[in-house]
Structure 1
Amino acid sequence: MKKKHSLLMIFLLVLGTILAACSSSSSSSNEDSSGSKELKFISILTGGTGGTYYPLGGAFANIITEETGIETNAETSGASAENMTTLKAGDAEIAFSQTDISSYAVDGTMMFDGNPVDNIQAIGTLYPETIQIVTTEKSGIKSVEDLKGKKVSIGAPGSGTALNAEQILEVHGMTLEDISKQDLSFDESTTGIQDGTIDAAFVTAGTPTGAVEGLAATEGIVIVPIQQDKVDVLIEKYPFYISDEITAGTYGLEEAVSTVAVQAMLVVRADLSEGLVYDITKALFENMDGVQHAKAKLIKVEDALNGVGIDVHPGAQKYFDEIGVTADQ
């Protein structure tokens, strides 16, 4: 009798363990597929208030909140490079970045030399990040070479803009030693130009850029062109650049200005669940028509995998696979 009782107890114990494991697996699977239970708050790292990332980030945060039910906020930051470092520390979930900077981060090169960011993946690219060399008519600066000896802001310390400035000066036979370098945010740069404390500034952002629009409202501004031969050299040496132009009418310009661009992209922490990132990706690309910023018109889901440069998060890839989006060859 004792033997039968013992066997029954062992059977019930094993059965209970199996049922508990199945229940746990089902609960975990449900939570992961929806993604909605794993986070109560999402932070999107943007840039300074005078750039393009910040207003777009605010619009994106609203979409994510409405579509996923997870409270999402856009946070100001020092932009691309700082954003990658913050994601590495786990202090945010999503970030805007230039494609070149995210590639440097993953590879552990340039400003990330010896300190790679190994926990990020892409949601997708968004729009061209135009390199704008901003000055005023009264400065007399008409070419990149004219920047020699001038007080020139190359962007906030550690920003992607600073590296763009260095590379553009390089193909013109110049270095940072040829200018009086200033490390200012976009807002500080345009204020400095207006006040006369600096002569020019590099601004890498989608056009129109808020800080530059503000300057154009009070000053006759000039965007210094990058001539085509220099554009070709730059792209050959640094393939993440693309040829671009600032169209006539932007900032009151009478003619289009030749320049270059990298691309803006959204980067996400790799440890976020496939279900959550799928929901975020779907929410953003299917509600872009509700974003009022001018750059939203350039954000097209069919281009989202072009020039990404780093691995795409499985959740984002699942969405792109569903709708048949692939990268251009």
Structure 2
Amino acid sequence: MKRKSFLLVTILMLTLSMVLAACGGKEKTGGNGEEGKSGEKPKFISILTGGTGGTYFPLGGSFANIIKEETGIETNAEVTGASAENMQTLKDGNGEIAFTQTDIASYATEGKLMFKDGKIDNVKAIGTLYPETIQIVTTEKSGIKSVEDLKGKNVSIGAPGSGTAANAEQILEVYGLSLDDIKKKDLSFDESIAGIQDGSIDAAFVTAGTPTGAVEQLSATEKVVIVPVDADKAEELIKKYPYYTKDEVPSGVYKLGSAVPTVAVQAMLVVNDSLSNEVVYDITKAIFENLDKVTHAKGKLIKPEKALNGVGIDVHPGAQKYYDEKGIKAE
């Protein structure tokens, strides 16, 4: 009997230890499971960026280093197809943090345009970073001086389905115009500028950080004109589409004699909302309080006091906690 009792106790103890190991051995990660809500740090997170030749990738590398140094979380910057792809990847749970444009993030969360087949509801904002300026590019010889002057002209609005195409349509809208009022061309930035040079295109919408290389090349051979977006129209646009913000193309860029008012969407950081408030707070604080460690030139444009401007989607509670502590509000 004693032997049977001993065996029974041994079996019960082994069973209990296995159950405890199973309960306690679950990793606290930033993935899609509820365990990410616990507040414990994930062991690894990935930052989805863009192509190696763009701005997102080198910035992402700097942010990854900062996060690792300040939070102890192993962090890696991944090469991707940028904004739209990044939003879909976060939805699928294959990344934790991503770069995207504010307008693309809004389309994703609302299920519009390139996301009409399914909205994305598991992504929140960390904050905006720097402007991606909407530049309506033409030349002095075109005679185009205003958005209204685009009527009847050959105008490139960017690649089909692009954020630039949506920007063009929305700006025309606040001026009482539509795509039917122009001779629409769906061309890449380089193709658009080449078209302006050979006369087949009168003007082109370009959404990019300034100065934009293709437009700089144009300014070497032509007197570039950037068509302004008037202040009242900018305000109307921002009221209807809150991911826009006021911006300008500075004097001297493209040899401009004076600054030109326009609007911009913002490059921004977003996060899978399965990451806990504590982790996102730590990440937000780490990035915005160590911007001196960012080596890319765009780092100089990133300011925590501007991080809520033009966000356009819900801010993650962890990031919001940081802004509340600093007294930061959207302007």
Residues 1:72 and 2:77 are matched in the alignment: yes
Maintained 8 Å contact 2:152/2:183: yes
CA–CA separation in structure 2 for the residues paired with 1:261 and 1:248? 17
Query: Secondary structure of 1:310's match?
Result: coil
Report what 1:24 is aligned to.
25
Query: Secondary structure of 2:265's match?
Result: strand
Report how far residue 176 of structure 1 moved.
Answer: 0.8
Report what 1:140 is aligned to.
143
Moved over 6 A (4+): 29-32, 273-276
The C-alpha deviation readout for 1:100-156, integer Å capped at 9, x for no partner, is 331221122344335212232222111233221011222221111221222211122
Report what 2:9 is aligned to.
8
CA–CA separation in structure 1 for the residues paired with 2:268 and 2:20? 44
Report what 1:303 is aligned to.
306
Residues 1:174 and 2:164 are matched in the alignment: no
Report how far residue 254 of structure 1 moved.
Answer: 0.5
Taking the TM superposition and a 5 Å limit, the aligned residue runs for 1:6-155 are: 6-17=7-18, 19-21=20-22, 23-25=24-26, 28=28, 33-35=40-42, 37-38=43-44, 42-45=47-50, 54-65=54-65, 67-68=67-68, 69-75=74-80, 77=81, 80-89=83-92, 94-155=97-158
Report how far residue 177 of structure 1 moved.
Answer: 1.4
Maintained 8 Å contact 2:242/2:312: no
Taking the TM superposition and a 5 Å limit, the aligned residue runs for 1:157-172 are: 157-172=160-175
Report what 2:225 is aligned to.
222
TM-score by length of 2: 0.79
Report what 2:264 is aligned to.
261
The C-alpha deviation readout for 1:245-294, integer Å capped at 9, x for no partner, is 22222222111212222332122334567777566545533443344555
CA–CA separation in structure 1 for the residues paired with 2:219 and 2:296? 18
Amino acid at match of 2:87: M
Query: Secondary structure of 1:45's match?
Result: coil
The C-alpha deviation readout for 1:163-201, integer Å capped at 9, x for no partner, is 111111122222111222122232332333234332211
Report how far residue 65 of structure 1 moved.
Answer: 4.6
CA–CA separation in structure 1 for the residues paired with 2:203 and 2:98? 28
Taking the TM superposition and a 5 Å limit, the aligned residue runs for 1:276-315 are: 280-313=283-316
Amino acid at match of 1:209: T
CA–CA separation in structure 2 for the residues paired with 1:178 and 1:8? 85
Maintained 8 Å contact 1:132/1:202: yes
CA–CA separation in structure 2 for the residues paired with 1:187 and 1:274? 42
Maintained 8 Å contact 1:99/1:262: yes
CA–CA separation in structure 2 for the residues paired with 1:252 and 1:246? 11
Report how far residue 221 of structure 1 moved.
Answer: 0.8
The 10-residue stretch of structure 1 (202-211 or 155-164) with the greater mean CA deviation from structure 2: 202-211
Report how far residue 18 of structure 1 moved.
Answer: 5.3
CA–CA separation in structure 2 for the residues paired with 1:286 and 1:240? 24
CA–CA separation in structure 1 for the residues paired with 2:260 and 2:120? 35
Maintained 8 Å contact 1:151/1:198: yes
**Aligned-residue identity in percent:** 61
Residues 1:203 and 2:206 are matched in the alignment: yes
Change (3 A) 1:318 1:88: same
Change (3 A) 1:23 1:83: closer
Maintained 8 Å contact 1:154/1:165: yes
Maintained 8 Å contact 1:45/1:94: no
Report what 2:159 is aligned to.
156
Query: Secondary structure of 1:213's match?
Result: helix
CA–CA separation in structure 2 for the residues paired with 1:147 and 1:277? 45
CA–CA separation in structure 2 for the residues paired with 1:42 and 1:238? 27
TM-score by length of 1: 0.79
CA–CA separation in structure 2 for the residues paired with 1:196 and 1:140? 13
Gaps of 5+ in 1: none
Change (3 A) 1:10 1:324: farther
CA–CA separation in structure 2 for the residues paired with 1:236 and 1:201? 24
CA–CA separation in structure 2 for the residues paired with 1:286 and 1:201? 38
Change (3 A) 1:6 1:294: closer
Amino acid at match of 2:50: L
Report what 2:240 is aligned to.
237
Change (3 A) 1:271 1:22: closer
CA–CA separation in structure 2 for the residues paired with 1:130 and 1:86? 25
Maintained 8 Å contact 2:66/2:287: no
CA–CA separation in structure 2 for the residues paired with 1:225 and 1:232? 13
Count of matched residue pairs: 318
Give the alignment's Cα RMSD to 1 decimal: 3.4
Amino acid at match of 1:61: G
